[in-house]
Structure 1
Amino acid sequence: MRSVVCMKAVPSTTEVRMDPKTNTIIRDGRQSVANPFDTAALEVALALKDELGGRVSVLSMGIPDTCRLLRDAIARGADDALLLSDRAFAGADTLATSYTLSMGLDELGDADLVLCGKMAVDGDTAQIGPELGGILGVPCVTGVSEVLEASDHRVVVRHDTDEGTEVAEVPLPAVLTVTKDIATLRMPSIAGVRAAAGAEVRVLDAATLGADPACCGLAGSPTQVVRSFVPERSHEAATIAGTPAEQAAALLEVFEEVAR
């Protein structure tokens, strides 16, 4: 089983800084961690490797500091890592990100299974997995909460839907996005830490990757953040006097005003 896990570095704090010109998150590497949904996807891939053999590669797009997180994935059992890093990738929306990641997947070679977290905690779009499936032309199952069976030509999974959960059988190659609770990432071994310390994380820029500049970063993003702000909050309280019926009527007026 050849698996590729897409991983993203996300802020470890809610105190993020925004670029006032592009309205995108400033990613300088400070206090960044691996997206928790993606670490669950990594554990799923490592468990499949334990069961079926094969290789696990990790793929990310981000600033050079992301190499630190990819080496940690190697310490936990991944075989190799590829980082796509270039100023040309900055400010990408999900479509531009998916395009760039698909170029990275081509660089890594044929994969039986591409695994992503269901969403990233700094964006919550849950679009990367389905978009990758569309670009690659392979089936995609989202919100996978359990892998029931796996072989070299198919996987059977349980996944969440709007109506509940269902079991799906998917031929390979395929893309899966997984929930955060599907698995807990294993701890790195001593041998893994030593291997990761000397491991080479390949870093490719847009030119080396052969990416179309018009499809990358802000230039390739049909959706852009127009404005971002912190909602104003107040702690004012009001007393509603009168009989219960009068209070209920006054409260209804408040609700209707808020709903307008």
Structure 2
Amino acid sequence: MKSSPNSPTNLTVGKQRSPSKVLVHCCQQVKVNIDNKRKARAEDLSLKNVNTLMIEENKECFSGFGFFDSPHPSAVPMPRAEIVINTNYIGTKNMVKAAIPFMRPSSEGVRIVLVSSRLGRLNGRRNRIANVALRQQLEDTESLSKDLIDSTMNKFLIQTKDGNWVNGGWPQNNTDYSLSKLAVNAYTRLTAKILAERPEGQRIYINCCCPGWVKTAMTGWAGLTPPEEGADTAVWLALIRDQSISGKFFAERREINF
């Protein structure tokens, strides 16, 4: 952010601003960059430009909104890791919980589609949790639980805070992001199982999908997939009428392994 110390939009530690003003300023600055046909700079949403004390005191306000130092972080400092987990996992979980009571019953069923990533796959060849027993627990629908997902994320955050996460056996590529999406994938399967117990006429189906490496500000415009193609699978899942499809993971309109 390029505001001066006396600017009303300055977000330095010296002047604590409300969460809403932080979010509005970040969004406005990104929009300005896009409107000017420039790349949205990573520094617009950089933690170094936000009062981290304010984030700590207003965690609920920031669940669902992420701050990134770069698309490919080489380290996972606190509180960045906590914000990524809160945004991608806790924010998603809170949104689903809040939305379900407002969903109208339908004979064709109601659908929830969560945006995830292949980086969160349990058995990825190059990017996965090293602990085989934990992977099996997260993979087994019978043993999968909210407590298991949450405790896995909390263990990672504790190790991050202590500075020993590197040797924790976590995914090697974009560690915090990968784990947050692993949690979203697991939450999708767990929620599908719970929602399947609802009576006929009140069924809700939930799936997740990977949009791919999309050409947006998040990827620094380096993505290979146009935004409309990235959104295609999510829209398809939202409109599909097959009621047997729930608790699945998709990419390019095809089911893929968790």
TM-score (norm 2): 0.28
Q: Of the two structures, which has the highest relative contact order with CA contacts closer than 8 Å and spacing of 6 or more?
A: 1
More helix by share: 2
